[in-house]
Structure 1
Amino acid sequence: MAEELNLFENWLGGLLAKLDAPARHAALRDIARELRRSQQARIAAQRNPDGSGYDARKPRLKPGGKALRDKRGRIKRTAMFVKLRTARYLQTEVDATGLAIGFSGRVSRVARVHQFGETDRVAPGGKDYKYPARVLLGFTTEDRELIRDMLLKHITK
């Protein structure tokens, strides 16, 4: 992902240099806003940037190998990262030199574990578990086109 960002930065750097500081800040603010919306929609759809789906959650089992709950007391399996994708946690930072989109606060650790597929405790004092990589932040081809189109729109004003 670092290589991808460097290529992106080299390509966009020349275009951004054509704008004065206030116009550059406005362009980056608009791009950051749209990128956050795109990332939120992709996370809600449970998709990696390459289009593949997130790995399913591991089923919770009792020590004997049976399901943790029966139908009456079931654990609901809703979409992952519902709170994580809200604007409260998925934040943008913009100035005249660049933009950043990332997770803030204590949830950034959860996001990092899932982003890179690291090992973490399931619960405080619980067992360690190697989480599968679920890429929360990344560029799709649509994101690249969105950035290009928005930047060209700001330059041609």
Structure 2
Amino acid sequence: MADLDALEHWISPLLKRIEPAARTKLARTVAKDLRRSQQQRVIAQRNPDGSPYAPRKPRQFRGKKGRIRRKLKMFQKLRTATYLGAWGDPAAATIGFTGRISRIARIHQDGLRDRAAAAAPSVQYERRELLGFTASDIEKLKDLLLSRLTT
């Protein structure tokens, strides 16, 4: 987070010089770019530090005899633009999960306890960081801001 604080102190004076409408447009561009990188990281099933997500617990599926059950990756729907929103205003660029999905995302992000269903036992979920900055995200952010502010 020290890199983000340094970036904020470096970019703040430059952002104050542009109009609020231009800041809003820039914030939306930054948020969409960050959302895209977060989606790619979730597709790759990686934490921001590069480590893989903790694997799912094995489950017993009772299917029809002979049916091949493919292993699904985690968070397939969570990474879509429907659930992973990107917003921008003159003060901030924000990405986050919307609606009821935000609860599921928070449980996995922080590694909390929850019940899979109302009558199910409480389970401790492994920590899987859905949102977070990588070093390449910060570099892309710097490059994007510099290119937008110099034109």
What's the TM-score once normalised by structure 2's chain length? 0.89
Aligned-partner SS, 1:101 = strand
Distance in 2 (CA, whole Å) between partners of 1:104 and 1:134 is 18
Distance in 1 (CA, whole Å) between partners of 2:6 and 2:120 is 41
Paired residues of 2:27 and 2:87 also in contact (CA < 8 A): no
Matched, 1:107 2:101: yes
Residue 22 of structure 1: how far off its partner (Å): 1.8
Residue 74 of structure 1: how far off its partner (Å): 6.1
Paired residues of 2:46 and 2:52 also in contact (CA < 8 A): yes
Listed as ranges, the gaps of 5+ residues in structure 2 are none
Aligned match of 2:124 in 100, 108, 130? 130
Partner of 2:115: 121
What's the TM-score once normalised by structure 1's chain length? 0.86
4+ long deviations beyond 3 Å = 3-12, 67-76
Matched, 1:144 2:138: yes
Instruction: Name the % identity.
Output: 47
Residue 16 of structure 1: how far off its partner (Å): 1.8
Matched, 1:16 2:15: yes
Q: What CA RMSD, in Å, does the superposition of the two structures yield over aligned residues?
A: 2.0
Paired residues of 1:92 and 1:102 also in contact (CA < 8 A): yes
The 1:142/1:28 distance shift into structure 2, 3 A limit, reads: same
Number of residue pairs aligned between Structure 1 and Structure 2: 150
Listed as ranges, the gaps of 5+ residues in structure 1 are 61-66
- CA deviations 1:7-53 (Å, max 9, x no partner) are 54334323322322122112111111111100001001100000000
The 1:133/1:4 distance shift into structure 2, 3 A limit, reads: farther
Distance in 2 (CA, whole Å) between partners of 1:15 and 1:148 is 12
